[in-house]
Amino acid sequence: MVSEKPAGAVPGLLEELRVLLDRELAGEDGIIVTTQYPFQQRRLPPDRPVVWLGVEKIAAAGSCFSPWMGEEENGSGSSALLGREVELTVRMEILHRQDGSVCHRIFGELCQALLLAEGRPQVRELGCGPAAFDREAGAFRLVCRGSLRAVLRRSREERPLTKIIIKKEEKTP
């Protein structure tokens, strides 16, 4: 039996983004949003667009306190919050078998979701190139990029502070 490794901070962010876009882009088109790459290359649905999400680049912002971000109270004491503020470049590929203009329309919907939806990320920039037919995928492909700010965090349990000892150090002349 193979046990699955729990998702880390970066895959967790990507999954949150997938869930947001899946919710916001749900409609008549039946858009599939996935982080699985490559998405079934030749087995793309004939009439449903696919949006693939992946991390292209991460830049960590510096901080004099990094990675410490503060304390978080819980029922049994406090936890140290550790993490980093990052700028994440997300690559989004929109694929559709029949029409390249559908890819551009979906990019517009994707921008609207990333900029206006409740629970949206901090978007700094969105852009795309031209749609082109990809023979290997058998579909029109539009490559898009988005620059997002995020905080990767984890918490570490701390034992409660029970006593403090202060000692005076005597200096000998």
Three-state SS string across 55-78, please?
Answer: EEEEEECCCCCCCEEEEEEECCEE
Note down the domain range covering 142. 9-156
Is residue 101 situated within a structural domain? yes
Judged against a pLDDT cut of 70, whether residue 23 lies above it is answered with: yes
- Per-residue pLDDT tens for 112-165? 999 998 888 889 999 999 999 988 888 899 999 999 988 776 654 544 545 666
Model pLDDT, residue 40: 55
Does 137 map to a domain?
A: yes
3-state secondary structure of 12: helix
Domain count for the chain, please give it.
1
The CATH number of whichever domain residue 68 belongs to comes to: 3.30.2000.10
- What is the pLDDT averaged over residues 72-77? 62
